[in-house]
Amino acid sequence: MLSRTFLALAAAIPVFGFAGPAMAEGHEHTEADRALMILTSDSLHTQGMAMILSSAMQQQGTDLHILLCDGAGELAVEGYASPEAIATPPANPAGEVVPEALLGRLMGNGAKVDVCAIFLPNTAHDAGDLKAGVGVASPGPIAEMMRDPAIPVYSF
């Protein structure tokens, strides 16, 4: 089921559409458009919505940095599989998706993904368990992003 879901997602992500214009009216994209998305929830729906909104932001030209902490850190672990898929709205051809597949798509499109600095020392995982391309955040650079008024911070 999961591989069929992933294939459906891969085929449908371009039409995942995130309806509406590529840019919000009145918003001009600049190369400096960046955002920090902090995801801590282990809720399947919250994780899915955070990934869907991140995808829409990325499609609109935002350079994303995603920080996965607490239960959401599991999304960064190689081989992690959500307990079930999330159904998309009836008009959406993707059908069902899983947050970890959406995260992989975001990474493939250039999003930087890190786990919180305290994720590994407080779980049974080590750095070798993380998916390729996932780093371990240092508090200093994340704090700089959080303090930068030009970088919006979203948390789920």
Phi, psi of 63 (to 5 degrees): -85, 110
Q: Is the pLDDT of residue 89 over 50?
A: yes
Q: Is the pLDDT of residue 58 over 80?
A: yes
**What is the rounded radius of gyration, in angstroms, for the C-alpha atoms of the chain?**
15
Report the b/e string of 134-155 with b at 16+ CB within 10 A: beebeeeebeebeeeeebeeee
Q: Is the pLDDT of residue 40 over 50?
A: yes
pLDDT digits (tens, 9 = 90+) for 61-79: 999 999 999 999 999 999 9
Per-residue model confidence (pLDDT) at position 67:
98
Cβ neighbourhood burial of 102 (10 Å; 0-12, 13-18, 19+): buried
Q: What distance in Å separates the CA atoms of residue 71 and residue 133, rounded to the nearest whole number?
A: 19
Q: What's the pTM value of the predicted model, to 2 decimals?
A: 0.81
Per-residue model confidence (pLDDT) at position 154:
98
Which band of pLDDT confidence, cut at 50, 70 and 90, is reported for residue 32? low
pLDDT digits (tens, 9 = 90+) for 112-134: 999 999 999 999 999 999 999 99
